[in-house]
Structure formats: structure tokens, C-alpha cells
Structure 1
Amino acid sequence: MSAPVLVEKKKLANPPLQLHYLGDRVLRQPAKRISRVDDDIRKLAKQMLQTMYSEDGIGLAAPQVGIHKQLIVVDCEPDEAATPAIVLINPVITKASRDTCVIQEGCLSIPKVFLDVTRPEVIEVSYKDENGRPQKITAKGLLSRVIQHEIDHLNGVMFVDRVDNTLAMNQELSKNGFSANAVKPV
């Protein structure tokens, strides 16, 4: 049995993986389920975490680094060395609360763009951990939001696809060099 994927929470001058940005087709392709959790998957999770910390992120999905696998990494406390990140393999939302909340979201694949998104407040997620063991987590608050945001990436959905205020979104995207044509409302 291997240990959890542990990575020093620091910025690297040259992160191991390259981010893809809104408008890149790779972000719109659904990710494939991971059939075997092995050292390659753990290595990918470690590289994703290193890349996420280097880019000041709190969540990252494999499609964002051009890899079509159902793997996400989440760390809502990147400044807390003692709090481990969570690696979710083949995550599935099994329950979502009727109660929703509106919070501003951003995305490493759409730098400097922050917009309001409505999502369920509490979710239950089934997934496999970095050792291939089935896990279940009930997430609320920021953790719930980040997991939902990253699972969207696994389905080719970007957070801007969920923004209701089209005018604000178009202004923010334009201001930061992105095309509103890359948005695919869900």
C-alpha cells in the first residue's frame, strides 16, 4: 500500500505540466474513467498538485493540463502545510442539496476572470483515492464548490458556461483576452 500523494506546497519556477486555456479544444473533451490506479496515476496527481500550487490554484482537473483522465486534485488550504490535498479519481456527485449559493469563481484556465456562479451548497461525492480505494465525502462551502467546478472540467464544462450575467462575463472575458465565442452555456 502506498502513502498518500504528498507534495510540498510551494511555487515551482517550471511546473511539470502545462495549463490549457479557454478556447483550447482539449478543455471541451470529456475525460475517460481511470480503470487502474497505479504509480503513473499517482505521479500524474503529484505533478498536477505541483502545477496547481505553482499557479496559486486550489483545484485542478487533468483536462486542464491536456490529459483526458477523470482525475482532480483539490486543496482549499494551500497555505496550511499540515492539511493534505485531496486526490479524487473518477469522482461522481451522488447527491446535491436543493439549497444553492452564488459565489464568485475563477479558473486557472481563464486567468484573471472572476464571475458569480450558482451551485448546490452541499454535495456527496464518491471517488477512488490515490490507492484505488473507494471513498465518499460530503462537501460543503468552498470544498463543495471546488469539487463541482473540477468535476465540470471532466465533462468538458467550464465555469463561464454556468454564468447567468452574460454582459459581465463578456466584458471580463474581453478585458482579459478571451473570446465569448468559447463559452458553451449549459
Structure 2
Amino acid sequence: MAIQPVTKMGHPALRQKSMAIRFDDLTDDDQIVLEELVTDLVDTMHDAGGTGIAAPQIGVVRQAVIYFVTKGRGFEPVEEDIPLTVMFNPVIEPIGNEQFYDWEGCLSVPGLTGLVPRFKNIELTYQDIAGKTHKEALSGYHARVVQHEVDHLLGILYPQRMDDISLLMYSDQLEHGLPQKAREILIAQGNM
């Protein structure tokens, strides 16, 4: 029930696959621990100004993610706010092969941003805090956020998804304009 320090790139919790949460084996004490984990994730995400956060980002190597998306975010923006979502044991399956590029940052890679390809459409399956399974199709920026956060549970940070590391830069340097290669990629996908 507190703001936790955010682990940074290089921390062991960010380099390993997270353990699943087995809802069929949870005791009442385990449920309280999960609720406290969610509270810590929410408090830490809000304090850091993030859109989402995964348990490994506060040093807990378990399959837990929270996120919310505000209306209008991303090159393929969401049309309405997506409320705070709490997910355990999420699994992503791409729907088709279409990918799109957008800029990503990360609380665990502070100050940097990179142009990252992600699947445009995905099917997401996850459990809520009561262990109930949910399945939904996501697209655009919403799908991007979920893919980014679920990657944390696989020990992957967004620079590992980039196909051109020259498009990784300090966020404040974007004020000088986009690199030509980034402009070409974004124009080709119709986002400029």
C-alpha cells in the first residue's frame, strides 16, 4: 500500500519470465497480498505518471499488470478513456500479421523513447483479481499498451522489440524533429 521504487533496465526482475498466479490455490492471506500488490502498482504508476506498470517493475516477478489509456493517445488513438484495468496471467495472440510503429517510453527505461513495431490487432486473455477469465480483441494504441506491459512479464523491454536501434533516443530530443528514417516509416504507414 505504498509507492515502490521502479526497477530500471538491467535489474534482474526485468530480465526473467514472471511466475503465474494460481487462483485455484489462493488462501485468504494470498488474496490480501494480491490486493496489496495491485495497490502498490496503482500508487507507483500514478506517482511516476505512467500509463501502465507490471509487477516486475516494482521488483515482484509475478504475472500482474495494470494500465489505463486516456482518450486520444497514440497515432491510432483510442476513442474513449479505457479505465484502470488489472490483469493477471495475461496471454496475447496476434490477430493477423499487420504491425504499426509508434513511439514508446517506459518507466524502467527513463528518459528514452524509441520507435517500436507492434501488432495492430491482438486477442487478449487474462484473469481479474477474483480469478475470472476475460477474453477480448484489442487494436491500435490499446493493443500497443497491453503488448508493452505483457512484455515485462516475459523479461522483455521495448528496446529489444525495436528493429532499428538508431531510433532509440532521449525523449527531450524529439523537440528537434524526427530523424529522417522515422519520418519515412511513419509516412509509409499514414501517420504523418
TM-score, structure 2 as length reference: 0.75
C-alpha contact (below 8 Å) 2:17/2:155 kept by paired residues: yes
Match of 1:21 in 2: 8
Identity of aligned residues (%): 31
Task: Give, in whole Å, the separation in 2 of the partners of 1:158 and 1:33.
Answer: 19
What SS does the corresponding residue of 1:138 show, helix, strand or coil?
A: strand
CA-atom RMSD in angstroms:
2.2
Task: Give, in whole Å, the separation in 2 of the partners of 1:106 and 1:122.
Answer: 20
Match of 1:143 in 2: 142
Task: Give, in whole Å, the separation in 2 of the partners of 1:31 and 1:22.
Answer: 16
What SS does the corresponding residue of 1:68 show, helix, strand or coil?
A: coil
C-alpha contact (below 8 Å) 2:103/2:114 kept by paired residues: yes
Match of 2:52 in 1: 59
Task: Give, in whole Å, the separation in 1 of the partners of 2:39 and 2:2.
Answer: 11
TM-score, structure 1 as length reference: 0.77
Farther off after superposition, 54-63 or 96-105:
96-105
Match of 1:5 in 2: none
Deviations 1:142-164 (A, max 9, x none): 21001100111101000000112
TM-superposed CA distance for 1:16, in Å, is: 2.0
| Shift in alpha-carbon separation, 1:97–1:74, aligned structure 2, 3 A | farther
Point out the structure with the larger helix share: 2
C-alpha contact (below 8 Å) 2:7/2:57 kept by paired residues: yes
Q: Which runs of 5+ in 1 are unaligned?
A: 1-13, 176-186
Q: Which runs of 5+ in 2 are unaligned?
A: 72-80, 174-192
C-alpha contact (below 8 Å) 2:159/2:165 kept by paired residues: no
Match of 2:156 in 1: 157
Task: Give, in whole Å, the separation in 2 of the partners of 1:139 and 1:15.
Answer: 31
**What is the count of residue pairs matched by the alignment?**
157
Task: Give, in whole Å, the separation in 2 of the partners of 1:60 and 1:96.
Answer: 24
